Every structure is written in structure tokens, then in C-alpha cells.
Structure 1
Amino acid sequence: MENNNSTAKTPAKLHGCGIILLLVFFSLWVIGLSAIDLFVSWTIEQSLFESSVGINDFRWIVHAIYSFLVLIPCIIFFGVVKTRRIKMIFRLWLIAAILAIFTIPMKTLYLTAQNETAILQSSSMLLLLVSLYVFKKKPDPALKLKIDKPHLIGLASIVGWGLAAPWINWGAFGSVLDTLLELIVGVIFALLVVNVIFPYYLEETQRLEKNIRISDFILDGFVVAVFLLILITALAHNGSQQMLVITVPVSGWLISAFAMAGIGKKGHGKAAAGFIAGLVIALPLIFFDMDELSLVISSGAGEALTWANKAAWVTFMSLLMLTIVLLINFRIITNLNMPRKWNHGLVLASILGSVLVYIFWGQIGFFGEKLFVILKSQTDLSIQAGVADYSTRRSAVYNALVKNANTTQTELWAKLDRLKLNYTPYYLLNAIEVNGGAIAKLMISNDPSVDRILDSPQLRPLPKTTTLEPGDISAAPTEPLWNLSMINSDKVNEELKVTGKGIVIGQTDSGVDGRHPELGDTYRGKTITDDYNWYDPWNHSTFPTDGSGHGTQTLGVILGKTTGIAPDAQWIGCVNLARNLGNPAKYLDCMQFMLAPFPQNGDPFIDGDPAKGAMIVNNSWGCPIVEGCDPTVFESTVKALMTAGIFMSSAAGNTGYYGCATLTDPLAIYEDVFTAGSINQNGELSTFSSLGPVLVDGSNRNKPDLLAPGEKILSAYPGGTYTEGSGTSFSAPHVSGVVALMWSANSKLIGNIEETTNILLGSVRPYQGSAPSCGDMIDGIGAGILDAYKAVQYAISYK
């Protein structure tokens, strides 16, 4: 750093076209590079959220290139430029570029590592602060300030209240630890900003005896804004790019205004400027979980991204309007100081205002992530597997699972009780969801009964319930649907008179519109009770409802009156994905309900009734790493369900765009689950259909098992309407529906998963379309194309 103690009264004015062009060009260079770094990193993250395979996480490389492309020119120009003010600008931006270098390691952190990101953000800024302290400039004697007490913090706090209100209103806290870590980021950011922009720039450009012009204010604000842009490019990570780039740089002029207002005052407006700087970075980080803002999770109307963007743009417009007001009334800036009583009163008023907004309009409470604790002892069901009678076997499996959980979890329950940690026990997988974060994880990770601890992500609440627009088609189809004709299920209904009667489908999805004309009559609870028939661990609804439409669509393919394969089958339902980010516990909630349903508000351990469970469970979902699942998390779970005689149909996934071995997420990867890929109306493998083999668990297993229609599938949609949908989510229901027909045609197959699977694979139609983009044919298409007519014929002939 330059150690210049010149006592010249004013920095040199800008002069010369060359030096001005250099500043303009380099400003555009920095802004453009920052935009590229932020956008490319954000884009990589969106792809990683969609698929963890086939995509290289090179965010740190992008950021490293950015850092050096900004740092090196800053060093060169700082060394060669002689114009004092321009030299100070390059020095200021050089310091910000050093922070960008320091944060390169942070860019390697995984998508959901928000706490670790906050720790490295704070550590990087502290490292820079310490470095500046070691090499700090000696104070310029010409900059000695008067000792008047500052009266700017009250005004800054009122401005801060206005900036904070939309975040408080539309956002929600994470855990106590989340909130504390992000608050620390804001405080350290504030300290960094004031300890750089004042001694290295503003204290020299805003000298006491200098008559500051409006052009000086505009330039200073711009210089600070670019400085802030470099800082947030350094710090933004795991989804925060879009929020921080909107809220932080535009505050440069307000920060400069507080510095101007503090001329001649003790502190030179540092407290007010730092407060604003810390606030604009902390508010988004505190009130929104940045990894929830990914497009795959929050792109829907009314989701978290909608509210975060709204808050960010309100903040941007507020800061922009304040800047315009300050420009129009430029001369009043130096007179913004207020009497002490007013100052104190404004601080109290802003605190009270923030509290009132939080109480009356905010989402009260802390909403952090939880832990999913998997125990070592998983139930051995080899004895129960040998029970011939279907109903008896289901009960035996349930009883064995519950007994093992009750026996092996007792000591851990006692430990959690002592630690005052709330928890939910599970039996289908011997596991416990614990309401705790990193500290709780440390306390229980060494327990001898614990195998491993996974994350259980929790979405923060929305300020308003999302509303779902009806489908774009109002009338039921009157012509045979192409997908039903392709698999010949219409022939099964018409010629063989098999419609799924006597079979109970379990639907685990976003929910179901229980009043839809296609589905309402076959809901098992319609004429009796919702007890044992409907469970909503997300929103605790007591009657089938669907907030996103996905579950209604997929169930419509299975058993819709006019859109379904097995229109006379009955169904029960469970909400495992009300919003588009699940977790292991919610998925397990519903799988337990499918095995042994229980009454509303019942206890799965005590009130479960296997006799009322589903025979076939449709799973048009996957649990990727970002939802907390590892490859083996549900392996024993699906084996237990298979042992109980429950057929598990699963969607392959929609990441085939990324190439081979993209079939990566439970449940589709498991041997004991039947996995469907997608084919279109032209008989071609859908480009989005995930491809095998399964490598994530080391099995090299061939998947999918077969193909079924999955593009432009017309089905039911909430509000009594209809719409088309695409994805392997629509392929799996075709398999579920065909199995319902098979079991309805021959009750001897009910619960016989091995023979049912053999018939499905042995009755396929050959695939005659193009080969997959890579790999072996079997890892794209499986055995071939699902054929309901042949499958039911084979089922009828089974003895």
C-alpha cells in the first residue's frame, strides 16, 4: 500500500482525456468481469441443483480468473498513474480485489454449506482487515477532524428501518446460529467498508476545506459502488449473487452522502455509513436461505424467490430514490446532522418500527435446518420375508420394524431429552429427525448407536400461501389419449374388462385435489373418513389438497376416470413434497404411512394399521444430495417395503441432458424399486430421461428398468381442470397403473414383487427409436417399452 503523507490541501482534479478514458474503460472492465463472474457462478449453481453428475463445479476457477483480471490491472495502474485522485481510486479497488483473492477457497464450498460460507466470508474479511492494520497508512495531519459528536446514526437508523421493512415482512429467520453468523458477516462487512473507504479514499477526497461539488459526490458514490461490487463478487456464493448485486452496490451514493454529512464531525459519518453498508448485505442473508432461491426450488409463482426478488428490488429502488433526492437537494447533505435528542429518538423509533413489522407482518420464530440421524441397527426381516400370507407378512414386517426402533432408540431419546432437543423418531428406517444444527450434531455424533448424520433441509415459511392457477383445459378428454393407446391400457379396459378394481394405490407427492372429477370418487376416504387415508406432514391438511398440481397430475395418469390406466382402483395419499425441496424425514413420513396408515394426529409407532396400507406406491420424486439424501439412505427402507409386498414404482429423473450415469437419486437407483424412463409420442427416448448405469452407490446397476410415456401427458389438474405435463414423473405412474391392472386381474400376484417385475419386463415391446446419446442401450431404455395388454394377459395366465 502506498504510504503517502502529503499535506496538499486537495487531491488533484481529474484532467486529461487519456486518464478519464482509462478510468471509464477500467470501470467497465471491472463491472463487466464482475457480472460475468456472478452470472457464470450462479448458472453453474443452478445446474448443480438440478444434477450433481455430469457437471464440473468450476466456480472457484471462474472466480480465481476474475480476481487476477481485476487485481493485476489495479496494481499496474496504481503504480503508473500520477493523477492523485485516480491513483486513490485504483488503490481502493485494489484492496477490494485482494479480498476476491482471499475468497477463492470459499468458492469450493458445496451448494448447501451456508454456515460454512458465512464463516469463510467473515474470516476472509477479517484477514483483509488485519492485513490493512499491519500495513496501515499513517494518518494525514491535514485530515484532523473536529471533536463534535456525531448526530447521523439516528437518520441512518430510520433509513435502515425503511430498507429492512420488506425483508422483515417477506422473509424469515433461519436458525439462531444461521442468524448470528449472517449478522457477524454484516458487522464485519461494515467494519471493512469504513476502514477502507474512509482512510484510503473519502477522507482525502472530502477534505474539510474543500468545497465539494455535485460532480464530486457523483464520482465518489460511483467509486464506492464499484468498490462494493468487487466486494460482493468476492463474497457472493451459493445463491446470494442475485440478491447482493441488486442491494449492495447501489448503496455507494448513500454511504458517500453520510460521509459528506460527517465532514468536520467526530467519526466523519463512519458509524452511519458502516451501518448502511452492513445492513444492505446482512438483510438478504439473514432473512432468506440463499440455497432456497435456486430456480429448481423456487421458480414457481409466490415461492421464496418471488419474495426475495421483491424485497431486493424495493431496496434497490429505495436506495436509488434516496440518491436522486440527495442529488436534487445536494446542498443539504452537509446539514443532515440532528440534535442529540432527535438522534436518540430516531434510533428508538427505528427499532420499535422494525419490531412492530416483525410482530404484525413477519414470520415469527426461527426456521433452521434439522438433522437426520440414522442408527446402526437396521431391522433384519429375513424371517418375515418367508411368511406366505400377504396380510400376515405386512403386519409382521411392521411389528418387527417398530420393535427394533423402540428397542434401539431409547437411550438416544433420553440423551436428546436431556439436551432439550425436539425430535421425531422413525421405524421404517431406524432413524430420528432432530431439531438442531451444527452444535447438536457435535453433541450426538459420537453416540455409539449412531451410524451417520445427514442434513434435513427445511424451507422457511412464506409470507403468503401460494395460489395455483387452474389448468389450461377445462373439459375432460373425449378422445383416447396417445399415452394410454401407446401402452395398450385402453384395450385392457375395453377388451379384458380389467380396470384396477380392488387395488389400493398409494400416492406420495405434492398432494391431490380430492374433489377433482377424475379422482374424487376413487378416494378411499370419500365415504368413510380421512383417517388412515390422508396424511399431510407439511401443512397438516385433513382432506386431500394439492398446492402445486404435480400430485394431481401423476395420480390422474394412474387412475383418472378418463385420463387413467386403472380407473376403478382406489387411492390414499400423503404429502411428501408440498414445495419443491424435500428432505429424508418428509419422504420417510409418507413411506411409513403407505406401509401402515394411522389416524389424523395419530402415532405411527402405535396407531399404524398395515391392513389399511397401500398395495402399490407411486414415487414421482427423487431425493438428491441437496435434499440431504446420500445414495444408500433409503436402501433398507425400500427393501422392507418390498418384503411387506408393496410395489414401489419410481421415476428415473430428468437429468439425461447431462449424459450417462445421470440416474443418481433415491429411490430410482435401488434394485428393489421399479424405475421408469420416458418415451415420447414418436417412440423416441426423451432427451431429459436420466440414463444409467447407477454409479453413485458403486453398484454399476442397469437402470431404468423400462420406458413409459412421459412427454406432453394430458392429465387432471387442481380446480377440476386439465393440463399437459412432461418428465419421468409421468412415466412412473404408467407402471403403477399397469401393476394395478395386473393385480386386479389376478389377485395371486398381489404382494409378489418378484413375479410382478418379471412379467413387466417380459411383456415389453421392443424399442425402435434412436440410441441414447451415450453408453449402452440398456442404460437408456431398459428392457423396452411398457405394454399393459401383454402384461395383463401374462398376469391372468399366472398360476
Structure 2
Amino acid sequence: MNWVHKDSPTKRNEKIKFVRHIYNLKNGNHFVRYVNESTHLGIRPIKYLKQLGILIAEGPAESVALIEQHPDVEHAEADVRIHITEPQVESKILRLQEVPWGIDRIEARRVWKRTSGAGVKVAVVDTGISTQHPAFAANYRGGVNVLSPMFPPEDYNGHGTHVAGIIGGNALDLGVIGVAPSCSLYAVKAFNRKGSANLSDLLTAINWCIKNKMNIINMSFGMEKLSEALKQAIQIAYAKGIIMVAATGNKGLIGHVDFPARYEETIAVTSVSPQDAMSSFSNQGTRMDLAAPGEKILSAWLNQSRKEMSGTSMAVPHVSGTIALMLSLSSKLSPEEIRSILRRTSQKMESLARVGVVNAYQAIRYLENTKSKSNFR
């Protein structure tokens, strides 16, 4: 092991600081050798994400620095904490509505006689889904609890349930109806009840989505700093044909879009108000693809209830649901074909200089009109 410095072992009786790292391994790596040599340095493998070629491990800080230089390592980075971009909760008394305003704004129900998303698998990478909510009785298909794999992906925060309701909720009598009420919803619980997750948890979630052949990944979260490991995971999922939709962020920043929305492989979504104005909390930048309703959005909540919330987190599922409608009609559409159709058919507004508002009806209409005479399948 000529790559190991002779002073690498931690001295006895010295207090050891353990850190967790993420290792992107090179193609053609000698995995068994790498693990054995890492273990020799006191590094403990936690999990290997086969779909991504990523190993998550922890060990003494000194040893971690050395193993980063191993010939089988392409890139290494520290595991960091990520938080859901905090939405605003509306506290006013809610009126029972037939259809939430966002669903009407994107004209989703105009296409439900032709498509409501049946057969499309949508992964909600979030805080889980409240599985006993009547809004999901017909189309919840299970999932995974990345944080505690022996337990179901039950939601104890509410964010994931709210997002899932916008995508595919189906309880019109409660005023909860999603864009694609017949799609198959999967809870991929990577965020805890406080709305935070480790980067390694998100990588594990994407790995699960690839392995289980999800069609769409809804990412109503963001981080400010670039992660090479997350970028690689996004690129691998993209190459598999998975469409990923992500939030631009909720800090009201101009010229800044959060990751993973900033990665070019994702569809980046910002928020608009009922008055078709850019939401004051929305991050904006050149890496925006679409806008969608994100203020005062009524959807499912914990304890079989409902709640209004605002945030780019609420805008993203309007787009994810629209994509489910499209894939239900034409399952072979690539991520770039989807992006092209959505941008081409979005509604351009004078108040929105850079992006248009997603329009499900126009997207489906365009798809049907071009299906037989273009490359769109």
C-alpha cells in the first residue's frame, strides 16, 4: 500500500474523531481490495450504492484523508446535512374547495378524460407519505425508509404528504386532488421529522429509484453548495431515462438556483402566485426551466387532514404531475423531450420575463398533435 503514509495509524490513547465520507469509485475499481485496505486504516464501510458506484464509510479523520488518495477513488467528499427549503404554512381557516387553484391554473383536469397518469411511477424523495390518508388509498404503492430500512416510509413531518397530494392525491370530497390522480406514488423517505437529511441519504434514495425503475423523481428540496457525488448520481439517473424535477429554492435570491435544480439534467421549477407574479420567496436564475403554482396550495396533511402551504416545494409537484400525464400517454419520452415540450407549451406571461407557467392541457395537446408525425413517441 505505497499510497499510505507511514504515520497514518491513529496513535493509541488519542481521542479519535470519526467522520463520514462519500467515495465515488472509478469504473473498473478493485472493490474488495479497496474495502480491505480501508478497513485496515480503521474505516468502516456503511453501505455501497451499486447503481451509483458510491461507497459511504466512516472512520478517523486522518485515515479518511489518506483513503481519498487511493487509486480506486475518483472523488471523495464529506457527508453533509441538507434541509428542506422551508415553506410557509398558511394558518387561516380553510374552505372546502372542489379543485385547488393550482390544478385549475395549469388546466390539468381538462385532460383527465384522456390521461390521469395511470401506470407512471413517481418517487417522492421527501419526509415520507402519510399512508393512511384517504387521498392515497387508490394509488400509494409503497417505497423505502432510507433512514430506518426496517420501518415503513411513514411521514411525521407533513411536507412529503403535502407534496404527494399535489402530484397524485385522489380525494376530491376532501378538496385534495393532484395533477395526475391515477399515477403510482412511491414514498422515498430520506428526510427526518425535522425536515433534514444527510447527503448520503439522498444518494441512497436516488440509488433506490434507479434500482426500482422509477419514471419520475420529485425533489422538493435544495442545497446551496455543489456536490460532485450528487451530480454523479443525477447524471446516472438521467442516463437511465429518469426525469428529475427540482426546486429552485425559497430564499428570494436573484441569480442563484439551489442544487440539484442547478444541474442541467434536472428540470428546475420556481413558484408563481395566484396573480401570475413570481413569488417573493422564489430563487431565480438562468437555470430555470418553468414556473408553477406555489402559493397557498391546498393539499393533504398528517392525520388525514389538509393544509395550505407556500414554497417552491409546492411548485415542483405540479410539474412532476404534468410529466406523469405525459408519460402515461407516451412512455418512451426522454428527459430532454419532456423538457422541450413543457417549455414550448408553457404559458408566457409579461410578469415572468425568463420562464413560462407549466400548462398540462397544452403539453398533452401538443404531444397528441405531434405524436404521429415527429420524433416524439
Same fold (TM over 0.5): yes
Tell me by how many angstroms 1:523 deviates.
Answer: 1.2
Percent of counterpart pairs with the same letter? 27
Match of 2:326 among 738, 742, 749: 742
Partner of 2:146: 537
**Maintained 8 Å contact 2:43/2:60:** no
2:229 and 2:196 map into 1 onto residues whose CA distance is 17
Tell me by how many angstroms 1:689 deviates.
Answer: 1.0
**2:146 matches 1:550:** no
Q: One-letter code of the match for 1:505?
A: V
Tell me by how many angstroms 1:409 deviates.
Answer: 2.8
**Maintained 8 Å contact 1:474/1:720:** no
**What secondary structure sits across from 2:350 in the alignment?**
coil
Question: Residues 635 and 581 (structure 1 numbering): CA distance in 2 closer, same or farther, change over 3 Å?
Answer: same
Partner of 1:416: 38
Partner of 1:286: none
Tell me by how many angstroms 1:669 deviates.
Answer: 0.7
Tell me by how many angstroms 1:748 deviates.
Answer: 4.3
Question: Residues 497 and 639 (structure 1 numbering): CA distance in 2 closer, same or farther, change over 3 Å?
Answer: same
Match of 2:279 among 681, 686, 711: 686
Q: One-letter code of the match for 1:521?
A: A
Deviations 1:222-266 (A, max 9, x none): xxxxxxxxxxxxxxxxxxxxxxxxxxxxxxxxxxxxxxxxxxxxx
**Maintained 8 Å contact 1:428/1:588:** no
Question: Residues 450 and 766 (structure 1 numbering): CA distance in 2 closer, same or farther, change over 3 Å?
Answer: same
Q: One-letter code of the match for 1:660?
A: I
**Maintained 8 Å contact 1:476/1:722:** no
Deviations 1:99-153 (A, max 9, x none): xxxxxxxxxxxxxxxxxxxxxxxxxxxxxxxxxxxxxxxxxxxxxxxxxxxxxxx
Match of 2:205 among 590, 600, 604: 590
Q: One-letter code of the match for 1:669?
A: R
**Maintained 8 Å contact 1:445/1:453:** yes
Q: Unaligned regions of 5+ residues in structure 1, if any?
A: 1-175, 179-367, 379-403, 460-470, 525-532, 598-612, 693-701, 772-776
Partner of 1:398: none
**What secondary structure sits across from 1:521 in the alignment?**
coil
Question: Residues 408 and 724 (structure 1 numbering): CA distance in 2 closer, same or farther, change over 3 Å?
Answer: farther
Tell me by how many angstroms 1:476 deviates.
Answer: 9.2
Deviations 1:569-627 (A, max 9, x none): 11122111114332221101110111113xxxxxxxxxxxxxxx2111111112344xx
Question: Residues 511 and 476 (structure 1 numbering): CA distance in 2 closer, same or farther, change over 3 Å?
Answer: farther
Match of 1:440 among 56, 60, 63: 63
Tell me by how many angstroms 1:443 deviates.
Answer: 3.0
Partner of 2:246: 650
1:458 and 1:731 map into 2 onto residues whose CA distance is 23
Question: Residues 492 and 410 (structure 1 numbering): CA distance in 2 closer, same or farther, change over 3 Å?
Answer: same
1:501 and 1:635 map into 2 onto residues whose CA distance is 30
2:233 and 2:30 map into 1 onto residues whose CA distance is 17
Tell me by how many angstroms 1:556 deviates.
Answer: 0.6
**2:253 matches 1:639:** no
Partner of 2:10: none
Tell me by how many angstroms 1:639 deviates.
Answer: 2.2
Greater strand content? 2
Question: Residues 457 and 793 (structure 1 numbering): CA distance in 2 closer, same or farther, change over 3 Å?
Answer: same
Deviations 1:484-532 (A, max 9, x none): 1111112222xx44211111111111111111111132112xxxxxxxx
**What secondary structure sits across from 1:554 in the alignment?**
helix
Partner of 1:559: 168
2:97 and 2:64 map into 1 onto residues whose CA distance is 56
Partner of 1:677: 270
Deviations 1:710-740 (A, max 9, x none): 1111110111011111111111101100001
Q: Unaligned regions of 5+ residues in structure 2, if any?
A: 1-14, 83-89, 171-175, 373-377
Partner of 1:450: 73
**Maintained 8 Å contact 2:117/2:328:** yes
Q: One-letter code of the match for 1:635?
A: K
Match of 1:761 among 343, 346, 350: 343
**What secondary structure sits across from 1:435 in the alignment?**
strand
1:571 and 1:719 map into 2 onto residues whose CA distance is 19
Tell me by how many angstroms 1:674 deviates.
Answer: 0.6
Partner of 2:3: none
Tell me by how many angstroms 1:631 deviates.
Answer: 4.4
Tell me by how many angstroms 1:177 deviates.
Answer: 4.2
Tell me by how many angstroms 1:662 deviates.
Answer: 1.6
Question: Residues 437 and 726 (structure 1 numbering): CA distance in 2 closer, same or farther, change over 3 Å?
Answer: farther
**Maintained 8 Å contact 1:504/1:615:** yes
2:269 and 2:116 map into 1 onto residues whose CA distance is 21
Question: Residues 753 and 791 (structure 1 numbering): CA distance in 2 closer, same or farther, change over 3 Å?
Answer: same
Tell me by how many angstroms 1:440 deviates.
Answer: 2.6
Q: One-letter code of the match for 2:178?
A: G
Partner of 1:480: 99
**Maintained 8 Å contact 1:374/1:450:** yes
Match of 1:720 among 292, 295, 304: 304
**What secondary structure sits across from 1:684 in the alignment?**
coil
Question: Residues 432 and 674 (structure 1 numbering): CA distance in 2 closer, same or farther, change over 3 Å?
Answer: same
**What secondary structure sits across from 1:633 in the alignment?**
helix
Question: Residues 417 and 633 (structure 1 numbering): CA distance in 2 closer, same or farther, change over 3 Å?
Answer: closer
**2:367 matches 1:795:** yes
Match of 1:370 among 13, 17, 20: 20
Question: Residues 483 and 541 (structure 1 numbering): CA distance in 2 closer, same or farther, change over 3 Å?
Answer: farther
Q: One-letter code of the match for 2:236?
A: A
1:668 and 1:538 map into 2 onto residues whose CA distance is 23
Which structure's relative contact order is higher, taking Cα pairs within 8 Å and 6+ residues apart? 2
Q: One-letter code of the match for 2:295?
A: E
Q: One-letter code of the match for 1:443?
A: L
2:151 and 2:364 map into 1 onto residues whose CA distance is 36
**Maintained 8 Å contact 2:52/2:233:** yes
**What secondary structure sits across from 1:577 in the alignment?**
coil
Tell me by how many angstroms 1:473 deviates.
Answer: 9.2
**Maintained 8 Å contact 1:371/1:437:** no
Deviations 1:284-315 (A, max 9, x none): xxxxxxxxxxxxxxxxxxxxxxxxxxxxxxxx
Match of 1:732 among 300, 316, 340: 316
Q: One-letter code of the match for 1:650?
A: A
1:707 and 1:510 map into 2 onto residues whose CA distance is 23
Question: Residues 473 and 744 (structure 1 numbering): CA distance in 2 closer, same or farther, change over 3 Å?
Answer: farther
Match of 1:616 among 186, 199, 216: 216
Q: One-letter code of the match for 2:210?
A: L
Partner of 1:507: 124
Cα RMSD over matched residues? 2.4
1:615 and 1:458 map into 2 onto residues whose CA distance is 27
**Maintained 8 Å contact 2:125/2:188:** yes
**What secondary structure sits across from 2:229 in the alignment?**
coil
